Amino acid sequence: MTETDEAALARKADHDDYGIAYIKTFPDDLSKFKGLLDDFLRLVPAKSRILDIGCGNGSYVSYMLKQGHDAIGIDISLTMLEEAKKVVPEERLFLMDMHAMEKLGEGTFDCVLSITSMLYANKEYLPRVLKQVYRLLKPGGKFLLMMLEGEGDGLIKHSFGGSEVVTYTTYYQVNELKERVESGGFAIEQERLTNLVVSSHQEISLFCAKNPENA
């Protein structure tokens, strides 16, 4: 087994535990970020092809399908995907690591969402993950990225649903994150700093567009 395979399996195991705890804590995932998602969806064409990275319990994919969008979700956690299957047709859900999205076709999405999922991407690899998002989007396509404000990365203890789960987590300063995203070829059209989930970290949301000049 290569080092990469081992790292991927470790991430998957972490996220299955994390998934169980997360579902218990946030059974209605959509409500906390619905306003923000609605603001983003107002900017995208009708019937958009949308990829939700780290789709969790599928609530955003389900919501976007009801709005007439052609949405699919990927997640590294089988537990999360099992939960998602309750509200999203199975053929729209894929077990996939965001560090390995090469199988998805180039320029096939109008929009990509990553709401508090890329904060689990390795800091060193974030530029590669962003490069994949850039590749997947059509020219001018939109990307909503939500991360947590703070410093550094490491194994962080999260308390969810009465359990404690330790998982690798990253935090970014606003300018640090913007710099990463712009270096990936995106134009940032809006930025927001919110505290929608009670936590010691604020959420940074960047509404981005694939800059066709960098295509």
Ligand X SMILES: C[S@@+](CC[C@H](N)C(=O)[O-])C[C@H]1O[C@@H](n2cnc3c(N)ncnc32)[C@H](O)[C@@H]1O
Cβ distance to ligand X smaller for residue 162 or 213 = 162
By DSSP bridging, strand 137-148 and strand 109-115 are parallel
- For every residue of 6-44, DSSP letters joined together read HHHHHHHHHHHHHHHHHHHH-SS-HHHHHHHHHHHHTTS
Minimum CB distance to ligand X, residue 90 (Å): 17
Paired tokens of 113: 């969402």
Cβ distance to ligand X smaller for residue 80 or 112 = 80
- Binding piece for ligand X, criterion CB under 6 A, among 113-121, 148-156, 190-198, 207-215: 113-121
- Residues 35 and 191: their CA atoms lie apart, in Å, by 14
Q: Closest Cα to residue 201, out of 161, 178, 174?
A: 174
Minimum CB distance to ligand X, residue 57 (Å): 7
Q: Is residue 51 involved in binding ligand X (CB under 6 A)? A: no
- Binding piece for ligand X, criterion CB under 6 A, among 39-47, 115-123, 137-145, 206-214: 115-123
- Residues 2 and 98: their CA atoms lie apart, in Å, by 18
| Window 136 to 165, contacts with ligand X (CB under 6 A) | none
Token look-up 């599928």 returns 58
- In the complex, the residues that contact ligand X under the rule CB under 6 A are 11, 15, 19, 22, 29, 33, 54, 56, 74-77, 80, 97-99, 115-117, 120
